């Protein structure tokens, strides 16, 4: 089975969040199931630097509208995978974030940058392709590639089936009417049953409208997004397409995130497994020293690794952080995002030296140190399509404190369940409910027997990509059989 996996980021080279992790790991898991999967991504500087010998394999042209003629490069990943790098330097040879300029604003030509990515995905799946390798399935991810099914619908010569995976419904790829022509879409696509969305063009909606199948990244989120309350304006459309919509919980990269072999746990950090949980004490000390926290074994240490945005509910934590520290407890936060939230956490660290440490930045190594060193992980998301960090936490014996939403609800079981509990779950996205959950965790932590049971329950669960990959294979097969 030949599958083109189209994405706007891919770990470990270019990653702003979980989408990058998924694009880095799922195709490899699918290859292990015997599928021929190639990943199409823009040739960002980091990818060109990583694959200097990437070979030109095609020059798609006449793509329509104002879309330029890019070059497709092919590169081979050490694990045996193949990347198709979409090279058009005026679009992708920009430093920093794939979506934002240095001021934190969207690049003004994002509709063209990602429209081109989607258009080339559709081209590869069509009869126009000049590549000998032609996918039977074009698997798109989020708004950045979601226009592909619309191109496949409106342009002649389509051969492949299409699948859109929603990683986050909040990002809808909204642009104005003029984009329709710039992107080479026909005038008759402009209606509510086409790509128009409340007077604008939504790249995500286009995909949800025309994909042969839609998935999202957890079963609970799949239900939530079909409601008016949580459907972010797409609830009606998603209910209409309910028959082709399924939720498949993400896996995690279990080679990268394994406390027994984690390459980022170098001295003074140590590796450990479920049978050596006492080794985590050394990691806590190392983390405290590295981040300037008091070297205090008797206080519970809570940790956060997150985009600092409204979605993640970290403002709720900021609101009660002083109360949490007074429990007493310590807090460590790693994240970047909205200015006001970054500032709020900076201020907290400033006001509580030794008790609260904050790193504003993106730091893969510290993320591993936090998972391996804190006592409990805090993830109070308002909504969470899947969430990877709570799964890393479970695997690292770091019971997560989460709100019952999306993938968090599908992975974390409250300690009230004496047999299966692996963390702490609260219902309402309020500072009061979050505080109650954190206080419950702080109390439970004092009972080391109970705590270790929570830790071991989390560590015992299989979060690998094996099972999810099989679900995708089944879905692809069903699409081809239809």
Q: Which residues bind ligand GLC (CB under 6 A)?
A: 17-19, 22, 167-168, 217, 250, 384-388, 407
Dihedral (CA of 418, 423, 429, 430) sign: positive
**Alpha carbon separation from 299 to 83, 303, 481 (Å, rounded):** 47, 13, 57
Pairing of strands 161-166, 137-141: parallel
Q: Is the peptide bond before 12 cis (omega within 30 degrees of 0)?
A: yes
Question: How many Cα atoms within 13 Å fall on the side-chain side of residue 116?
Answer: 26
Q: How far is the CB of 18 from ligand GLC (least distance, A)?
A: 3
Cα separation, 390 vs 374, in Å, equals 13
Report the residue closest to ligand ADP, judged by CB: 18
Query: Nearer to ligand GLC by C-beta: 184 or 407?
Result: 407
Residue 335 interacts with ligand ADP (CB under 6 A): yes or no: yes
Report the residue closest to ligand GLC, judged by CB: 18
Binding mask 382-401 for ligand ADP (x = CB under 6 A): ----xxxx------------
Residue 367 interacts with ligand ADP (CB under 6 A): yes or no: yes
Q: How far is the CB of 141 from ligand GLC (least distance, A)?
A: 8
Query: Nearer to ligand GLC by C-beta: 113 or 167?
Result: 167
Choose, by CB under 6 A, the member of 93, 294, 343, 364 that binds ligand ADP.
364
Residue 423 interacts with ligand ADP (CB under 6 A): yes or no: no
- At how many degrees (to 10) do helices 364-373 and 280-291 cross? 130
Residue 334 interacts with ligand ADP (CB under 6 A): yes or no: yes
Q: How far is the CB of 388 from ligand ADP (least distance, A)?
A: 4
Query: Nearer to ligand GLC by C-beta: 220 or 455?
Result: 220
Structure tokens at 347: 């201020």
Residue 363 interacts with ligand ADP (CB under 6 A): yes or no: yes
- For the chain, the residue count is 482
**Count of beta carbons in the 10 Å neighbourhood of residue 393:** 30
Query: Nearer to ligand ADP by C-beta: 280 or 368?
Result: 368
Choose, by CB under 6 A, the member of 195, 305, 320, 442 that binds ligand ADP.
305
Residue 307 interacts with ligand ADP (CB under 6 A): yes or no: yes
Query: Nearer to ligand GLC by C-beta: 125 or 407?
Result: 407
Contact 342, 360 (CB under 8 A): yes
Contact 85, 43 (CB under 8 A): yes
Q: How far is the CB of 30 from ligand GLC (least distance, A)?
A: 15
Pairing of strands 200-202, 174-175: antiparallel
Residue 18 interacts with ligand ADP (CB under 6 A): yes or no: yes
Question: What are 60's strand-pairing partners?
Answer: none
Residues sharing a CB contact under 8 Å with residue 454, sequence separation 6 or more, in sequence order: 399, 415, 421, 422, 423, 444
Name the one residue in this structure whose structure tokens are 């950090």.
269
Q: How far is the CB of 387 from ligand ADP (least distance, A)?
A: 4
Residues that bind ligand ADP in the complex, under the rule CB under 6 A: 17-18, 21, 305-307, 334-336, 362-364, 367, 386-389
């Amino acid at each position: 089975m030949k599958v083109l996996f189209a994405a706007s980021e891919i770990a470990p080279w270019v990653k702003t969040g979980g989408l990058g992790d998924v694009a880095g790991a799922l195709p490899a898991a699918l290859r292990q199931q015997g599928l021929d999967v190639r990943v199409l991504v823009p040739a960002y500087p980091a990818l060109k630097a990583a694959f200097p010998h990437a070979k030109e394999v095609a020059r798609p042209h006449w793509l329509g509208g104002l879309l330029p003629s890019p070059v497709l490069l092919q590169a081979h990943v050490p694990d045996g995978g193949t990347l198709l790098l979409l090279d058009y330097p005026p679009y992708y040879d920009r430093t920093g974030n794939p979506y934002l300029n240095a001021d934190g604003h969207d690049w003004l030509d994002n509709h063209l940058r990602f429209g081109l990515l989607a258009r080339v995905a559709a081209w590869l799946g069509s009869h126009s392709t000049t590549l000998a390798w032609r996918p039977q399935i074009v698997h798109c991810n989020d708004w950045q590639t979601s226009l592909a099914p619309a191109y496949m619908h409106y342009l002649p010569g389509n051969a492949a089936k299409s699948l859109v995976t929603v990683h986050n419904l909040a990002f809808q790829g909204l642009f104005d009417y003029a984009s329709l022509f710039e992107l080479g879409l026909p005038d008759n696509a402009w209606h509510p049953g086409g790509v128009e969305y409340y007077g604008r063009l939504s790249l995500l909606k286009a995909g949800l409208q025309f994909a042969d199948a839609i998935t999202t990244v957890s079963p609970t989120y799949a239900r939530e997004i079909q409601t008016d309350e949580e459907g972010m304006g797409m609830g009606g459309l998603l209910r209409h397409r309910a028959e082709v919509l399924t939720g498949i919980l993400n896996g995690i990269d279990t080679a990268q995130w394994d406390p027994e072999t984690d390459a980022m746990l170098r001295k003074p950090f140590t590796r450990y497994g479920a049978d050596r949980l006492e080794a985590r004490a050394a990691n806590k000390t190392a983390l405290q020293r590295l981040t300037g926290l008091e070297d205090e074994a008797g206080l519970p240490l809570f940790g956060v690794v997150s985009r600092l945005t409204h979605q993640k509910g970290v403002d709720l934590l900021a609101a009660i952080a002083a109360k949490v520290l007074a429990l007493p407890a310590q807090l460590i936060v790693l994240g970047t995002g909205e200015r006001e939230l970054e500032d709020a956490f900076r201020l907290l660290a400033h006001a509580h030296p030794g008790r609260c440490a904050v790193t504003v930045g993106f730091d893969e190594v510290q993320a591993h140190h936090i998972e391996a060193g804190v006592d409990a992980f805090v993830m109070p998301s308002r909504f969470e399509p899947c969430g990877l960090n709570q799964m890393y936490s479970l695997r690292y014996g770091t019971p997560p404190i989460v709100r019952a939403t999306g993938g968090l609800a599908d992975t974390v079981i409250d300690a009230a369940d004496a047999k299966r509990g692996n963390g702490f779950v609260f219902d309402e996205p309020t500072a009061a409910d979050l505080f109650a959950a954190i206080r419950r965790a702080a109390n439970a932590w004092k009972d080391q027997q109970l705590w270790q049971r929570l830790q071991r329950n989390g560590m015992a669960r299989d979060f690998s990509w094996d099972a999810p990959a099989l679900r995708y294979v089944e879905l692809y097969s069903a699409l081809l059989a239809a």
